[in-house]
Amino acid sequence: MARRIILANPRGFCAGVDRAIQTVDTILKASHGPRPDGLPPVYVRRQIVHNRHVVEQLAARGAVFVEELDEIPDEAAAAGIPVVFSAHGVSPAVQREADRRALAVVDATCPLVGKVHREVLRFVREGYEIVYIGHDGHDEAVGVVGESPEHVHLIEHAADVDKLEFTPDTKLVLLTQTTLSVDETADVIAALQRRFPWIELPPSSDICYATSNRQEAVKLVAQQADCMVVVGSANSSNSVRLMEVANEALGARGEAHRVDDAAEMDPAWFDGVDTVGVSSGASVPDELVAGVVERLRGLGFSEVDTVETIRENMHFVLPKELRAQR
Ligand code: 0K2
Ligand code: SF4
């Protein structure tokens, strides 16, 4: 029997990532060659998306990535060089700093992350305390908590629920990061509901369509595979969650490996493997998956099938500052 690859679908770019990358791409295309003042065509605050290859490719085309706005010189602000905020969003403090310096911000925050920011503001206005499930220090969580640090209580795991103290007269609502594991989050929610039975859930899940679709597909593929390769960078929350979901579904049959690209694959992973499943995170260009498939073909996996769980048709328009340019 031929060794087989099963590709998970949906995988790879989501609408928010596509929009964020297009945002930087549009600005780069509109800039014509190097500027006489030596300034770059665009600054990007933090990685536009959490993928090493995407960032390297945009940097090679002239985008300058900064961790904080204070790395952007005043001459760039005066010259109106655009500053793109990443797909993961920023806290109001960052926006205030940009306003103070009159930076030409182009906000590539995913609209679905923006939705959670607005939920925080609305619930705080209505007198709620917010329990937010997210990863401490992750860009998205930092931005959301920053909307109202005194009213947003961040927890990561079910075990953290015991650390929370609220009296029954406290209005409580739950919000989450967009890229969490659906199954693990269900466990945390169950623990929260046991301790605070009156806690309210958001009007619709904050875990976004792309995250849940990719997890569902990877699960189905892993159930039919002996081993999985998940393409995505180590700091990409949704990619790491995909690897965890794949591992859980594989069980004792095999292991899921996360790689940035084909070069990180170890042929020994595939000893005795007949079927390998492949997927990729929401920030991963499909050419990297093609590279993984090519390498697997070289290892004798000659048959390629696809398992599709749903067809996505989500699309977000570019940030308003750019709409005239395309
Ligand atoms: O999964 P992460 O939030 O770490 O981010 P990326 O890998 O950049 O994927 C895009 C999601 C961005 C926001 O939800
Ligand atoms: Fe938006 Fe979801 Fe993509 Fe994040 S993973 S950028 S929330 S669509």
The answer to whether the CB of 95 falls within 8 A of the CB of 72 is: no
What domains sit in the chain, N to C, each tagged with a CATH number?
Answer: 4-13+209-308 (3.40.1010.20), 15-110 (3.40.50.11270), 112-195 (3.40.1010.20)
For a pocket test of ligand 1, which of 13, 21, 49, 109 has the largest count of ligand atoms closer than 8 A to its C-beta?
Answer: 49
Beta-strand (E) ranges in 150-255?
A: 152-155, 172-176, 227-231
Query: Is the CB of residue 119 below 6 angstroms from any atom belonging to ligand 1?
Result: no
Cα→Cα distances 170→89, 177, 202, 279, Å: 28, 22, 16, 42
| pLDDT tens per residue across span 111-127 | 999 999 999 999 999 99
CA distances from 195 to 159, 160, 176, 203, 278 (A): 12, 11, 18, 21, 39
Q: Which ligand is nearest to the CA of 140?
A: 1
Q: Hey, which bits of the chain come out as E strands?
A: 3-9, 43-45, 64-66, 82-85, 104-107, 129-133, 152-155, 172-176, 227-231, 256-259, 275-280, 301-308
Averaged pLDDT for residues 233-246: 98
Catalytic residue annotation: 140
Answer yes or no: is 315 a known binding residue.
no
CA–CA separation, 237 vs 259, rounded Å?
A: 14
Cα angle for residues 88, 94, 99 (degrees, 5° grid): 125
Q: Which of 11, 13, 14 to mutate to test the pocket of ligand 2 (most atoms within 8 A of CB)?
A: 14
Q: Whose CA is nearest to atom 6 of ligand 2?
A: 16
- What is residue 23's predicted lDDT score, i.e. its pLDDT? 98
- Percent of the chain having pLDDT more than 90? 97
- How far is the C-alpha of 296 from the C-alpha of 303, rounded, in Å? 10
Q: Give first-to-last CA distance, the chain, whole Å.
A: 50
Per the CB < 8 A criterion, the answer to whether 288 and 259 are in contact is no
- Is residue 251 helix, strand or coil? helix
Residues with CB under 6 A from ligand 2: 14-17, 87, 110, 112-113, 178-179, 208, 210-211, 238, 282
Report the nearest-CA residue for atom 1 of ligand 2.
Answer: 16
Lowest mean pLDDT among 30-34, 152-156, 206-210, 317-321: 30-34
Distance of CA 116 to the CA centre of its chain: 14
Does residue 164 surpass a pLDDT of 60? yes
CB under 8 Å to 57, separation ≥6 — which residues?
A: none
pTM over 0.85: yes
In angstroms, what is the span from residue 1 Cα to ligand 1's centroid?
38
What φ, ψ does residue 96 adopt, rounded to 5°?
A: -60, -40
Whether 33 shows a pLDDT value over 90: the answer reads no
Q: What CA–CA distances, in Å, run from 89 to 50, 117, 280? A: 13, 9, 22
**Residue 132, SS3 per DSSP:** strand
- Cα 21 to ligand 2 centroid, rounded to whole Å: 12
pLDDT at 323: 81
pLDDT greater than 80 at residue 206: yes
Please state whether the peptide bond connecting residue 41 to the residue before it is cis, i.e. omega within 30 degrees of 0: no
Q: Provide the pLDDT for residue 324.
A: 66
The radius of gyration of the chain's CA atoms, rounded to the nearest angstrom, is 21
Q: pLDDT, tens digit, for every residue of 253-279? A: 999 999 999 999 999 999 999 999 999
Pick from 149, 156, 157, 158: nearest CA to 129: 149
Question: What is the distance in A from the centroid of ligand 1 to the CA of 270?
Answer: 29
